Chain A
Amino acid sequence: MSRIAPWHQTNWDWRAAANFIGGGTGTGLVIAGAVAHFLGTDYRLAFALGLVFVATGLFFVWLEIGKPWRAVNVLRQPQMSWMTREAIVAPFLFATGLGALWTGGGVLAWITPGVAAVFLYCQGQILRASKGIPAWRSPGVVELIIMTGLSEGAGLTLVLVAFAGFEANLTWLQGLLLALVAGRGLAWYAYRGRLDRDGAPARTFAALRAIEVPLAVFGLWGPILLLLVAFGVSSNGEWIAALAGICALAAGWLLKFTLITRAAYNQGFALPWLPVRGAGKSGPGAKPGWR
């Protein structure tokens, strides 16, 4: 029996999800580190950890490709492919990031977050260009990927403040995370609204529905509440903010893991009209598995 209704794509698995998780969190951390630097603190821990995240993600995706020893061919089509563009930006990110770590300041510390933002944008566009997966090609996916990456980075920065002695202006970083999780919430609801209007496989909606409550609790309202409490208390505010950061980080990872793996049902097949046979008439079309 042939498959008609959309089925789960099998070409990209958790390793691809790890690239989006590592890339988003890593670039978000570099950008948040740059914000902390702007406020007068040392950015090196955030940059170093951010680069490790990005490198880990790229390593996992390298493990996934069929011909890893030909991986350099990924660079051959910058004129069209967002995957090529991501691969071209990556060495610049590492070069400027490592340079910024080496010099401990200067212009590279300001160039690196810009390059990180371009890398994050490429990741969003990689999904957007995947026309075969309705959950990925939806226009709002780019904003969603960018906002969750930034939220994860800001969240992890607050964790570093509490646990790793990363000295930063806590109030500003808390405010940044507050704005970013609110922005991510808006991006999520905009994405879902667009998907509802455009239609997608029913099982994609089921997969996304399964994370709606955890996302709302841990990705939006939980961090907002915790951050407001952190603003109000006179002591231990960094621990409460770190908890908000962990929530924002975990929700982002859950979102991307679900989007890349569980919600990734393909287009399936559809017929606008059924054929006329003999003296019969055409029947209504069929698009199995969609809503």
Chain B
Amino acid sequence: MTRYVMAADLRRCVGCQTCTASCRHANATPPGVQWRQVLDIETGEFPDVKRTFVPVGCMHCGEPPCMEVCPSTATRRREDGLVTIDYDICIGCGYCAVACPYQARHIVHRATFAYGDQPMESELVRFDPKRVSVATKCTFCKDRIDDAKVRGLKPGVDPEVTPACVNSCIAGALTFGDRDDAESPVSKLLAETAHFRMHEELGTDPGMYYIWDRKEEK
């Protein structure tokens, strides 16, 4: 089996938002829609204050609540763990958006561009009318992963078939790969670190791991 997951090393993330920018560049999302974003969390009280940067987006859950509620079957979970949306079927009811505990789904009801209603030439080329009034979210750069099979490459190892956010991360905080492959970089990283998954108690089996420390040696 294959289960593609992502790991975000919170010790390394510097909150530069390069992943956010590269995601928008790769996926041509409209203004206000960020499939990948980085939270800037301040905790503690002066002088003991900490600042943590947390990349978030669709967690490509193993038990996706969005898929369970979707009345149209537009949301599906693939064999490799990717949660997808069929824009031709989605009715834009928003039920998936209220079912997602990660606030990862977006619905925009009219086409907007960087400078209002009129697209720039580059935006016009990549504008996809199918995405208006339906749910959208991070796809883990699905097209690249599909391309990996054709080209005989390995997602998470070969940049051509690895999600754009992972490729762009200047700090090497994001790692992608097959969790079920013990030799994949992400599996090795998870094996040697202490990590958690957000809102795991809700039973979603999220596919995003947050690394926060080294694994304690026994």
Contacts and interface: CB of A to CB of B under 8 A. Distances in A.
A binds B: yes
Interface string B183-218: 000000000001010110010100000111110000
A129 B69 contact: yes
Nearest to B200: A272
Contact of B202 (A65, A131, A269, A284): A131
Given A11-B107, A136-B98, A269-B54, A73 B89 contact: yes
B54 A76 contact: no
Contact of B134 (A12, A67, A68, A274): A67
Nearest to B11: A275
Contact of B204 (A81, A131, A264): A131
A101 to B, nearest CB: 29
Nearest to A80: B68
Interface stretch (A1-9, A186-194, A218-226): A1-9
A270 B94 contact: no
Interface residues of A, number: 49
A273 B90 CA distance: 37
Interface of A, helix, strand, loop or mixed by DSSP: loop
The listed residue with most B CB atoms (<10 A of its CB), out of A82, A136, A270, is A270
Contacts of A283: 43-44, 50
Interface residues of B, number: 53
Contacts of B156: none
B37 interface: yes
A271 interface: yes
A129 B41 contact: no
Contacts, number: 162
Given A269-B198, A273-B213, A276-B213, A81 B71 contact: yes
Given A81-B69, A270-B198, A286 B43 contact: yes
A12 B94 contact: yes
A18 B65 CA distance: 24
B2 interface: no
A74 B212 contact: no
Contacts of B90: 66-67, 73
B91 A67 contact: yes
B92 interface: yes
A74 B44 contact: no
Interface in B38-88: 38-41, 43-44, 50, 52, 54, 56, 65, 67-74
B97 interface: yes
B93 interface: yes
A131 B96 CA distance: 9
B45 to A, nearest CB: 12
Closest 7 CB pairs of A and B: A66-B92, A66-B133, A11-B94, A275-B10, A73-B72, A83-B71, A267-B101
